[in-house]
Structure 1
């Protein structure tokens, strides 16, 4: 009897698994379940959030990118009945599976800080990115009648990768907002509040320092070593220090999908520690990859960070191991070698450390082109040339 493989999530990892499985021509029915009919490049959501890109620029239709042999169900996963091998859906009947690839992605993480959910906005999909944009534009426009300086104060909570790239996009967008809403020159201010003392620690010191200087030279105020203790309506607190502002954007951290907790997995922050071949202990029919997986690095003993680059590599490994299981062959352990890190600081600048064909370091305008190449490559690997060209 033909086996059924259910793949949950149409993000980088989920789509990559499907593409690899179909390329290998595995003898199995493949079902992809995703809550939207489109795939979006989550690494570019910050550009939509400030209005430098539109949703159509970072998304494509999933059905058009899939082979006809793959079944697509557009619905939200509510839980997984692991004992009975069933995926429970919000609107549709349960889906039965023989093998499961869980790649459900991420959600915003508040770390239990008071007021985050009530008084700040985060973005983890297109709808929430558009909500951030609408809030920014509505608040800036209100200044004409409110004359409240806090309507011009933007607070970015967190200087991780997403937060830093968001700051770069804000630099690009602020002059346009100033003209559009007839605001005083230099009236819009941006403060970034970060608990860690080092910014962009994954990059060499000279590149991270250059990025910080670029941002501060363009008016961004970065408050490192400043842990957020509370978010209020109109301000962010770090112990006794208060930062006023009516635009509060939360980029401090992410966790895995709530479906993990709701399905009874042993987890922390909705991430599950997996075996070296990416399967779940005592559940050899389940693979977890991407943001819902805690994958140990055999060299350091620490868990790999949850990045798109690592998620795609995990997808390749999971697909190969699924093909092996269907053929009665042993699985292989996951191994990862980074090709480097590219951090944009708006469309015209950035910093990058590339580890392919040597160790290359870039900063400035060249990184804008490099980022475009990286984005095009990810679309090409997940879909087709047509979708890549359509995203331009």
Structure 2
């Protein structure tokens, strides 16, 4: 019996396993993940801000797997493409016939001095919780330290995670001010971004609405401000220095380090794949999610790595594996975006939706749309019980 190894139980990996199991392929399916749980990475900012708990955005992997799927709880060390072997930290190596690599992402520092040591990234449950604990501890410390930098928060980057984190933070800030007896007028929240515009995937009017919403709630935006160094207690941009004892690092992500460690031809731990998502020279191997770089045939640029694209890639990879097993040709990856939703806390946001027309939404309605999107993701990856438990 052939063995299909699926590495990573994020959106892409878990979806692939579900599709393979339902396609009735006569194979051994092995899912590998370093944690016993799947977490909704698109909601980590809520855990970091303290508006949701880890249990709200995660579920047990074993309980959600189809019958017959094996699960290895371990961390991948390396992949030998030539020998078709995956090496782990604890378990014996796994020999595979087919591989789906969906190992996910890591924080990207771009080589900026001090970023790794002094910034708090949001890349998994543990880092999100660590960022939240630091935020709350630092705010609480002000009552004894009287250091106004304890009341300053610098968010590095102005992409999706950064803006959604800011939305949750300003929503929760009145509660934190009351809890710790803080002077609200001394709270400072910086958003520091190298590019001239935040959220470039939205049109200017929608971005202006989102920026204005956050500004009215105390966020200072500093665009066209490249970060040159991150110190303990400040973010430096050439001659500017933003003093803050909480520094959230959300400037971007790269693929898993396992990609470079295994000798793939990569950039930022992402591998350019063929149009059927397989690796050049290895038709038995598919790379999807954050470790893949997929060219958009209409523009020539790479698709952004989003949960929506990862799920679509998983469907294609599973279908192509079934085709290979049955001796059929594989199909090209064809992606049609259904839109983009950016929350600004639980009660506001902006959205550009391409379903039953083209809808541009802003305000409270987007909070409802975001919840539907999140619930649908849990429903498709797990079971209805998981979705109900997360509410």
CA distance in 2, matches of 1:171, 1:334: 39
Aligned to 2:185: 186
- Report if the CA contact (8 A) 1:256-1:270 is conserved: yes
Q: Which residue of 1 aligns with 2:13?
A: 14
Report the alpha carbon displacement of residue 68 of structure 1 after superposing the two structures with TM: 2.0
What is the 5 A alignment of 1:209-288? 209-288=208-287
What is the rounded CA distance, in whole Å, between the counterparts of 1:275 and 1:242 in structure 2?
44
Deviation of 1:14 (Å): 0.2
Match of 1:345 in 2: 344
Q: Deviations over 1:250-306 (max 9, x none)?
A: 000100000000101000000000000000001111100000000011110000000
Pairs within 5 Å for 1:80-91: 80-91=79-90
Structure 1's unaligned 5+ residue stretches are: none
1:334 aligns with 333
Structure 1 partner of 2:146: 147
Q: Is the 8 A contact 1:260 1:270 kept in 2?
A: yes
SS in 1 for 2:350: strand
**Alignment of 1:65 onto 2:61:** no
1:154-189 deviations in whole A, cap 9, x for unaligned? 000000010000000111111111111111123221
**Native 8 Å contact 1:12 1:312 kept in 2:** yes
The DSSP-based 3-state class of the residue aligned with 1:186 is helix
- For residue 221 of structure 1, report the CA deviation from its aligned partner: 0.4
User: TM-score if structure 2 supplies the norm length?
Assistant: 0.99
Which residue is equivalent to 1:125? 124
CA–CA separation in structure 2 for the residues paired with 1:204 and 1:340? 13
Distance in 1 between residues matched to 2:316 and 2:99, nearest whole Å? 14
- Tell me, in whole angstroms, the C-alpha distance in 2 between the residues paired with 1:208 and 1:182: 33
Separation (CA, whole Å) in 2 of partners of 1:36 and 1:236: 33
Q: Which range moves more in the overlay, 168-177 or 100-109?
A: 168-177
The farther-off stretch of 155-164 and 176-185 is 176-185
State the match for 1:200 in structure 2: 199
CA distance in 2, matches of 1:185, 1:125: 30
Matched residues in 1 for 2:255 and 2:68: separation?
29
Are 1:30 and 2:29 an aligned pair? Answer: yes
Contact 1:7 1:31 (C-alpha < 8 Å) held by counterparts: yes
TM-score (norm 1): 0.99
Which residue of the partner structure matches residue 387 of structure 1? 386
What SS does the aligned partner of 2:35 have? coil
Query: Helix, strand or coil: the match of 2:190?
Result: strand
User: What value does the CA root-mean-square deviation take over the aligned residues?
Assistant: 0.7
Contact 1:261 1:270 in 2 (8 A): yes
Structure 1 match to 2:52: 53
Indicate the residue corresponding to 2:113 in structure 1.
114
Aligned residues: 391
- Give, in whole Å, the separation in 2 of the partners of 1:185 and 1:310: 40
Match of residue 39 from structure 2: 40
